[in-house]
Structure 1
Amino acid sequence: MDHGPTDATPTAAAFRLVLLSKSNPVMGCYMFWTSLLVLKMLAMSLLTARQRMKTKTFANPEDLRISRSQEVRFGDPHVERVRRAHRNDLENILPFLLMSLVYVASGPNPLTARLLIRIGASARLLHTVVYALIPVPQPARALAFFTTFGITCFEAGYVFVFCIKYI
């Protein structure tokens, strides 16, 4: 496993900068999948709004004018399912993206890194499909969740071991 120059020379600094540049194929892969996952998370807000309109379930009094309803409603199962999927994204995609960035900066094997990023991001997309869009019985959702969870843990462990020499 080659991590490049390890001393504090200008060459080592330049090597680290290249790791986080779009000319690094691993960083390019990370940037692509990050943008896709961020767009997906933003789309979850729109999906929640769509479900609220469809079911006329609004949680704020000022929104009642849109629905022509007379009362604030909570607990619609369709709205709540999308909200839970969105919350799950916030709890899992953000750590995955942060840890993947630190992992890329550590200079991992390019093939392994790109594979982990692709699989982790794809699993999160699949998680949304089987949870919020077309609900599928377990274990589909759990498999998608634990795939990205496991990759995030692996990346954290890898970076931990790689960086322990610096403390």
Structure 2
Amino acid sequence: MAGSPYSLENDTFAALMLHGCIVLVKMMALALYTTTKRFANNSFVSSEDVLNKDRESRKEALVANENVERVRRCHLNDMENIYVFLLMALLYIGTNPSYGTALLLFRVFSVSRILHTIVYLNAVPQPARSITFMAGYGVCCYMAFCIMTSVL
């Protein structure tokens, strides 16, 4: 009986673990960056976060700030895409793909998400953000196609 595809003995799974960790750590960093931006811009979402301020300051601190919202939207976009990638990649590994192809897909996704964050946070004009998004989305679509064709 062959070993499990979900073992560190499988180079493809090990590659997914590395690239999955990279994009998850990047996403975790964005969560901390959001908090940093909230304090730097005095912009909070919960009233208990501003209880030590006077009434007027509380109102101002509870108004959305574009600098904070940009980071928050970038973080939300990561959550919408990285979790899908991780689940899709786990299913994809179950199809026993070639290591070279899988590694290329994992690398493209990781780089696309890192570039997406850089482009988004720096407000680079379109179509830069769309291109970086579509590269990662295309990886997920390709893996979905491979999974479906292998089981049908």
- Which residue, 117, 122, 125 being the options, matches 1:137? 125
- 1:89 correspondence with 2:78: yes
Would the alpha carbon gap of residues 115 and 30 (structure 1) be closer, same or farther in structure 2, given more than 3 Å must change? same
- Deviation per residue, 1:121-147 (Å, 9 max, x gap): 110111111102x22111111111000
Q: Is the contact made by 1:53 and 1:67 (CA closer than 8 Å) also made in structure 2?
A: no
Would the alpha carbon gap of residues 97 and 126 (structure 1) be closer, same or farther in structure 2, given more than 3 Å must change? same
Match of 2:139 in 1: 151
Equivalent position amino acid for 1:49 in 2 = T
Q: What SS does structure 1 have at the residue aligned with 2:62?
A: coil
Aligned residues: 149
How many percent of aligned residue pairs carry the same amino acid? 36
- 1:101 correspondence with 2:87: no
Give the 5 Å matches for 1:49-68: 49-65=35-51
Structure 1 gap segments, 5+ residues each: 1-10
Quote how far apart the aligned CAs of 1:60 are.
Answer: 1.0
- Deviation per residue, 1:15-49 (Å, 9 max, x gap): 4x1x2111111111100011111111111111111
Equivalent position amino acid for 2:125 in 1 = P
Quote how far apart the aligned CAs of 1:70 are.
Answer: 2.8
Distance between the aligned counterparts of 2:69 and 2:58, measured in 1? 21
Whose Rg is larger? 1
Match of 2:109 in 1: 120
Q: What SS does structure 2 have at the residue aligned with 1:59?
A: coil
Equivalent position amino acid for 1:126 in 2 = L
Distance between the aligned counterparts of 2:148 and 2:21, measured in 1? 26
RMSD: 1.5
Structure 2 gap segments, 5+ residues each: none
Over 3 Å off, 4+ runs: 65-69
Match of 1:70 in 2: 58
Quote how far apart the aligned CAs of 1:74 are.
Answer: 2.5
Equivalent position amino acid for 1:33 in 2 = H
TM-score (norm 2): 0.91
Q: What SS does structure 2 have at the residue aligned with 1:70?
A: helix
